């Protein structure tokens, strides 16, 4: 096993810098690609982010205040995101309030927290994205990045433990649990160097961007087997994946499957839920989840 450097946060998203110019009314428009709206430190003003989609992210250099610490950031009065708030009540509100509109000009009123990682000079990058990408698949979480009592999960998810991967490097011990791990790699950010112990037949790895498969050149079972490269880890695709360069760049991060050591996973198919397509992977003996088909 050999992880490469997965410390860079934005790897395949289009960067849109929200500038600290102290002026209100600036409009920042997303594209059809994955966009990372990077909020500068300082006074950015009351601005508008528009065309925000499920594959877009908001990145700040300090954590956005989460009043009940549940990992969901609900926007305040007027559906505005107070990026500078430092506590509850009017006395702790910030000066910069962002309005966020979706691709249909609808107001975005909530985002989910996906962790942080520092850059090479120690600046922290906090990542936020559409909360519905998690909730539509895994159900509503009570708190944090994993939950075993969620309700409202899609019928394709029958596992007792659901995890929404964050951008830091993690060690997951699946153990005796049946686990569904979502990695929202369509965002175009790097999810770190993750070790997964105990990946078994009743577990699922779910992605929002298809994983590159060098074997997908024919028919039969081998065409659905994603074999790891010489580094013996799974290189994750990014926002533009799958690309032939993914096995050497791994823009979405890397997985090391241990205990037992595994060097391949099996593609089970895809499912469109709402506006997001999810891609499901398991062991060669894994059952196909409900509603999951090949395109």
Strand partners, 100: 49
Measured distance CA(212)–CA(225) in Å, rounded: 11
Q: Is the pLDDT of residue 157 over 90?
A: yes
Mean pLDDT of 237-251: 95
- Stretch 252-275: mean pLDDT, rounded? 96
Helix (H) or strand (E) holding 248: helix 246-249
Q: Residues 223-241: what's their mean pLDDT?
A: 93
For residue 91, pLDDT over 60 is answered with: no
pLDDT score of 89 more than 90: no
**Tokens 């580094």 map to which residue?**
231
Of all residues in the chain, the percent with pLDDT exceeding 90 is 84
**Cα angle 65, 14, 164; round to 5:** 50
Least reliable range by pLDDT among 5-14, 70-79, 83-92, 172-181: 83-92
Please compute the mean of the pLDDT values over residues 170-181 and round it to a whole number. Answer: 96
Residue 4's alpha-carbon distances to 140, 186, 212, 251, in angstroms, are: 33, 20, 17, 11
- How far apart CA 62 and CA 68 sit, in angstroms, is 17
Three-state SS at 182: strand
Please tell me the predicted confidence (pLDDT) of residue 145.
Answer: 95
Q: Tell me, what's the pLDDT at 260?
A: 87
Share of the chain above pLDDT 70, in %: 95
Radius of gyration for the alpha carbons in the chain, expressed in angstroms and rounded: 19
Cβ neighbours of 224 (radius 10 Å): 18
Per-residue model confidence (pLDDT) at position 223 = 80
Predicted pLDDT of residue 10: 97
Helix ranges, 76-219 (H): 132-138
More confident residue, 208 or 95: 208
Higher pLDDT, 192 or 150: 192
The two structure tokens encoding residue 182: 């979502």
Q: What is the mean pLDDT of residues 70-91?
A: 85
CA–CA gap between residue 123 and residue 12 (Å, rounded):
20
pLDDT for 294 equals: 87
State the average pLDDT over residues 146-168.
Answer: 93
CB atoms within 10 A of CB 171: 11
Which residue ranges make up each domain of the chain?
A: 14-130, 132-282
Nearest to 54 by CA among 32, 69, 75, 76: 32
Highest mean pLDDT among 33-37, 77-81, 216-220, 227-231 belongs to 33-37
Q: What is the residue-averaged pLDDT of the chain?
A: 93
Mean local confidence (pLDDT), 128-137: 98
What pLDDT, on a 0 to 100 scale, did the predictor assign at position 218? 55
* Mean pLDDT to the nearest integer, 28-49: 96
- DSSP states along 23-88: -S--EEE--SS-EEEEEPSS---S-EEEEE-TT-EEEESSPPP-TT-SSEEE-BGGGEEETT--SS
> For residue 221, what pLDDT is reported?
66
Given a cut of 70, whether residue 92 has pLDDT beyond it is: no
Ordered DSSP codes for 232-247: SSEEPP-TT-S-TTHH
Residue 220 pLDDT: 60
> By CB neighbour count within 10 A (0-12 exposed, 13-18 middle, 19+ buried), where does 269 fall?
middle
| Per-residue pLDDT, 1 | 60
Q: Distance between CA 143 and CA 20 in Å, rounded?
A: 32
Tell me what the mean pLDDT of segment 271-288 comes to. 97
């Amino acid at each position: 096993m050999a992880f490469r450097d997965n410390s860079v946060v934005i790897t395949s998203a289009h960067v849109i810098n929200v500038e600290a110019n102290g002026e209100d009314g600036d409009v920042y428009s997303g594209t059809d690609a994955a966009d990372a709206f990077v909020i500068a430190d300082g006074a950015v003003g009351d601005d508008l982010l528009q065309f925000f989609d499920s594959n877009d992210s908001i990145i700040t250099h300090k954590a956005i205040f989460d009043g009940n610490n549940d990992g969901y950031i609900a926007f305040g009065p007027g559906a505005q995101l107070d990026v500078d708030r430092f506590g509850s009540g009017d006395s702790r509100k910030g000066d910069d309030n962002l309005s966020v509109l979706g691709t249909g000009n609808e107001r975005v009123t909530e985002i989910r927290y996906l962790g942080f990682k520092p850059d090479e000079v120690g600046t922290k990058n906090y990542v936020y994205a559409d909360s519905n990408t998690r909730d539509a698949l895994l159900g509503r979480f009570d708190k944090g990045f994993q939950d075993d009592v969620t309700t409202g999960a899609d019928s394709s998810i029958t596992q007792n433990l659901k995890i929404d991967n964050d951008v830091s490097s993690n060690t997951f011990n699946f153990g005796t649990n049946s686990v569904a791990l979502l990695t929202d790699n369509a965002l175009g950010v790097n999810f770190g160097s993750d070790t997964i112990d105990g990946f078994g037949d009743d577990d699922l790895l779910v992605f929002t961007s298809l994983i590159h498969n060098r074997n997908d050149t024919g028919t039969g079972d081998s065409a659905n087997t994603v074999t790891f490269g010489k580094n013996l880890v799974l290189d994750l695709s990014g926002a533009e994946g799958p690309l032939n360069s993914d096995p050497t760049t791994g823009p979405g991060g890397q997985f090391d499957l241990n205990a037992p050591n595994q060097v391949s996973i099996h593609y089970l198919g895809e499912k469109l839920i709402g506006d997001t397509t999810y891609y499901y992977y398991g062991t060669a003996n894994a059952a196909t989840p409900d509603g999951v088909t090949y395109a």
